Amino acid sequence: MMLSPPLTPLALFTPAQVLPYHIVASIAQYIELGATETPSAIKSGTISIPIPSKELVPLAAVCQSWRAVVDPLIYRVAAHCTSSGKPYTYTNTHLPKLSVAVERQKQHLVRQLYLFIDMSKLFNAESFMSFLDFVENTCGEMLSVYKLALIPTYSESMYLWQTPSETETAASLDISTAMEKFFKCVRSLTPNARIVTASHGSTYRSYRRAVKDHDHAIALLPAMFAERTTQLVVDHVNLSRPQLDKLVPGMLRSISITGYKGPQCHIELIQRHAPWLERLELVSFTVHAIVKLTWGHTTTSTRLYPRLKKLSIASVLGLRTAKVRQPTVDPFPALEILDCQSCFPFTTSVVLEGGQSHLRVLKLRLDPELFGVMESKRLLRESAYKKLEIISLGWAERSSIGRQEFSERMLLKSFEIGAKTQIVYANRLAIPDFDVVLPKIHFTSTLRVLDFQETALTIAQAVELLSGFPKLREASLFLREVPGDRSKRMPTPEEVAQFNKRFIDCQSSVMFLDICKTQFTNSRRSGEYIVLMTDVLPSVTRVRIKCSTKTRSGRVRNGIKFALQRAIYQNKRVQDVQFAADD
């Protein structure tokens, strides 16, 4: 009996395999992975508004099949304004407008709706009836919307010195009537929305002296949607006791608070929801207010946040002090993401010690005192954090003492403390002589992404660093001249040959480079050295120029074009690399 040979598995083929990388990347950024936010986003208050990729738009015009693939990505997020006015924040969102989606019969594809509430028109009966007519007769129910973001805004025509005309006053609605009608209207528009975010935009604080009624209406938004709210954003508006009472414990899963130092109502709101919170963002809180969130019912107990997955802290006010009662046990036993882009508020190390077993992302701004505490507790030893995948260690803005002294050690620890680190950010580290650090780096085999856009490297240092990580795929770089070299000329053929000879045995795996900043004497020279560096990295397929301005990126890109025309680069692999500048 003869046994037939095993069947060879068929090669898997998908359309993505024949698409350029930037198209695939644009599609990929639209795929939601848990609570991951879209990478490209702008801020309205504390709400992140995604920016749709222009790369996807041409695909929709190719054929009906591609439209079926791309349309759900393009129209996944849409924006609409409650009035016919053109508030600045609405016209500059770059999101597909809901009216366009309705016109093209794509409203059934919308899953996230950003509703800009024109507070200067909300109490105008005629304007409100126009919005009501759009909801009931034009758009209809949007059953697919699960996330609704309410963003108060104002028309461009409304200024501090303007007061409502007699006609507008006669046609206006009182606050309670307007809010009740508005609530019913939006509820009928998005009956299945479960994540309701109500933001109070800080951009419009200057209007409040003239529009107290409107400000009062903004403060009512969370309470009006209380029964369906799971995420609350409080931006520069204090909560009243009646509002706090309507947000019953267990309702909220996510809280963001910006612009207040930590009044009792905000602290009580967070403490009430501690057992259920999964995400907490605090901006411009005092050290005392943050530590107070961990206080239990007795003077020795610690309040636990058993479900909290992400804690973000920024712009902390004040200094750490041991005089404030500190947590005695880890208050965040399930924390996966700790993002503290400011002074770390706790004097004890229980949060960082507890995180060794469960943190996946650690972004921390250190000062010499905190660095010393972490070293004494052996929190910077090799593989101290068993599940850590993303690490960013940098200096707190207010801390300049010993910055150079500790920066080298901090960088080295960034590559060591995670057992399976995949992404490392070198966050504003002052390392004057990087050649001394290079031989000491632990070149881990798990690293996939390296971000050095805030720490300057010469092209030789960049090549040595990138080629040291065997599985590196992406890197962001800040390139500079060799210290002391202020020449404006281009590298000679002899210098290019010498550089190539130096790295002739270079083995790299990095495929995608982002050049985020350059410090050369001119843009042409920047382009020349970017090409020279790319030429000795055989694995690179795409280089993107992402300088601070479009003009600067364009000039560097032109420098690259001139460099590629030189005879020394003809018939070389670098001609196949895709160079692009952000437009």
pLDDT value for 137: 81
The residues of the chain scoring below 70 in pLDDT are 1-67, 69, 84-93, 120-125, 154-176, 198-229, 234-238, 259-262, 397-402, 583
Strand, coil or helix: what is 127?
Answer: helix
pLDDT value for 254: 86
CA angle 546, 552, 557 (to 5 degrees): 70
pLDDT value for 318: 86
pLDDT value for 87: 54
Q: Are 63 and 104 in contact (CB under 8 A)?
A: no
pLDDT value for 52: 54
pLDDT value for 470: 94
pLDDT value for 36: 37
Strand, coil or helix: what is 248?
Answer: coil
Q: Are 529 and 491 in contact (CB under 8 A)?
A: yes
Strand stretches in 439-559, DSSP E: 449-457, 474-480, 512-519, 542-545
DSSP 8-state assignment for residue 137: I
pLDDT value for 241: 77
Assigned token pair, 248: 């019953």
- The CA distance from 212 to 317, in Å, is 28
pLDDT value for 10: 38
pLDDT value for 159: 44
Burial class (CB within 10 angstroms; exposed 0-12, middle 13-18, buried 19+) of 558 = middle
Assigned token pair, 502: 């130096």
Q: Are 381 and 414 in contact (CB under 8 A)?
A: no
- The CA distance from 140 to 386, in Å, is 50
pTM for the whole thing? 0.79
pLDDT value for 330: 95
Residue for token pair 């609704």: 148
pLDDT value for 44: 42
Residue for token pair 């849409």: 78
Domain boundaries, the chain: 37-156+172-231+242-247, 468-583
Q: How many CA atoms lie within 13 A of 166 on its CB side?
A: 0
- The CA distance from 255 to 273, in Å, is 9
The per-residue pLDDT for range 522-538, each reduced to its tens digit, is 999 999 999 999 999 99
